[in-house]
A and B are shown apart, each in its own frame.
Chain A
Amino acid sequence: MMRKSRKESTAKLNQNGLTKRLLRLRVNGEVKEVATETNKTLLEVLREDLGLTGTKHGCELGECGTCTVLIDDEPVLSCLVLGVESEDADIVTVEGLMRDGRPHPLQRAFADLGATQCGYCIPGILLTSRALLDKNPHPTREQIREALAGNLCRCTGYTKILDAVELVVKGEVA
């Protein structure tokens, strides 16, 4: 029933003529132009218009942290910011973590330690951790916990996630 009403409402909106707009977004250092609906969230623009599906959608209501991206080096939820609000900002997604074709130390630490199980929350957690380490390269475990307090993980119990970030802090990543 819900699916039907969704289809109906979409059809109705299309009749009304959803306004498309040309957005200029700076994603992972590249300027991209994309014509898209103004009511789309950044999450939808990234995934559907730019093909950057590394950013996952979870609750889409700001309750899980899964869709976290960096805007001007700060973790924000891409499900609650519009594409049109993200122009003129530096956006970093998990695809932008790689450096010179090599995974970021955080990515290597998460892989080495097996700090992911299903992996769905990990893009958001990697980006939140990167924002923390960029500002404070030597956080305590408590500070890591506080920084990650908005990212839910239903598999790992968080211990390995915290261990992985600490591994990078100690510079012990292979």
Chain B
Amino acid sequence: MLRLPDFTYIRPKSLKEAGRLLAELGPEAMAVAGGTDLYPKMKRGQFTPRYLVSLRFLPELRGIRPGSKEGMWIGAGETLTVVAKNPAVNKRFPALAHAAGSVSTPALRNMGTIGGNVFVDTRCNYYDQTFFWRQAAGFCMKKDGDICLVAPKSKSCLAVFSSDTAPVLCSLGAVALLAGPDGLRKLPFEQIYRDDGMHFVTKRDDELLRAILIPRAAFGQRNVYLKLRRRGSFDFPVLGVAAAMALDREGICRSARVVLTAVASAPVVVEEASRLLEGKKVSREMIEAVAEAAAKVSHPVDNVDLDYWYRKRMTRVYVKRALAELTGLKLETEKVPQEPVKDEKGP
């Protein structure tokens, strides 16, 4: 059996106590909520904490307040199932409901939290392996080694950012409410991530995600999330496209955001999308141009499932499909997207 190594499990009574414990215990401690990312990684020796500080039972992390003054407030400790099924989330942000509902499998969504998903560890074929495997292949710089096995000349780790919900939150301009020793701090999700597979989160270690705030400005926006993967369940994204757009009554685009996931070590914002679309009536040609721009900034490498060149080519296709869905424009020779694998009869 793959057993968990020894550790001390601490169950603080409040978020403040949890933060204090993490600050005191330092790098030997890790926070655990759903455990669906952490426990497998402890079994495989990728994470080696001596102390686990549990966030699982903290009521402060619970609840979804759909119409708070500032916007929609989503507690970081809510499970992905709860987020995916919440009526208010589905009504206003179908992209977020779909992203949360597409993470892994139903049982794992019953356990894993949205706070865990936005900070889910970056992934790589050379890293997500047992200790035995990694020892045999040679360790990589993300854990126990000093080089990158995907690109030995690379100075930084190229592990892939694999959250489904984070790109959607970036596209909606969502803000993270971080609880630290000095109280609550607001940080836009777009600024939380860094394109470095080992240090992909910029928040401090003693800061804990209390909640996610989607601002009122996003309430009227159309939004969509498309996910590419081999199977219709289980798999992490090997490409994800989140898009959000505000259209006024005349059909003029007032704001447009396109964010990619799983093509770098952080979500990738396609800056050209806003520049090309805002203030204009969106046409097929503009969608083509945005898709082209997205493909230019999409740099998948050969370290997760499916070929990297295919994932790059699919960036163009998925961005086109996402924008077509948001604008209602029909693209030639392409159908509106469907989840892959919908074979009713089975094999």
Contact = CB atoms under 8 A, between A and B. Distances in A.
Bound pair (A, B): yes
Interface of A: 1-2, 9, 13, 16, 18-19, 37-41, 44, 57, 60-63, 65, 68, 74-77, 79-82, 84-85, 128, 141-142, 146-147, 149-151, 157-159, 162
Pick the 9 closest A-B CB pairs, nearest first.
A150-B105, A149-B233, A61-B40, A60-B2, A74-B110, A75-B107, A39-B4, A13-B6, A80-B39
Given A60-B40, A79-B39, 5 more contacts: A57-B1, A62-B40, A68-B107, A77-B108, A149-B106
B6 A75 contact: no
Interface of B: 1-9, 35-36, 39-40, 43-44, 54, 56, 81, 104-108, 110-111, 132, 232-234, 344-347
Nearest to B133: A2
Given A61-B40, A157-B347, A159-B346, A77 B9 contact: no
B107 A61 contact: no
B5 A13 contact: yes
Contacts of A68: 107
Contacts of A82: 4, 9, 35
A41 B4 contact: yes
B43 A65 contact: no
B43 A38 contact: no
A81 B52 CA distance: 13
A53 B107 CA distance: 20
A18 B35 contact: no
Contacts of A38: 8-9
Contact of B54 (A13, A39, A65, A85): A85
A15 B40 CA distance: 25
A22 to B, nearest CB: 14
A41 B4 CA distance: 8
A82 B1 CA distance: 15
20 contacts: A1-B132, A9-B5, A39-B4, A40-B3, A44-B1, A61-B40, A62-B39, A62-B104, A65-B107, A68-B107, A75-B107, A75-B110, A76-B111, A80-B36, A81-B111, A82-B9, A149-B234, A157-B346, A159-B346, A162-B346
Contacts of A76: 107, 110-111
B344 A150 contact: no
Nearest to A75: B107
Contacts of A151: 105
Nearest to A61: B40
A154 to B, nearest CB: 12
Contacts of B56: 85
A142 B40 contact: no
A74 B2 CA distance: 24
Nearest to B111: A76
Interface centre among A1, A60, A84 (most CB of B within 10 A): A60
A150 B346 CA distance: 15
B44 A81 contact: no
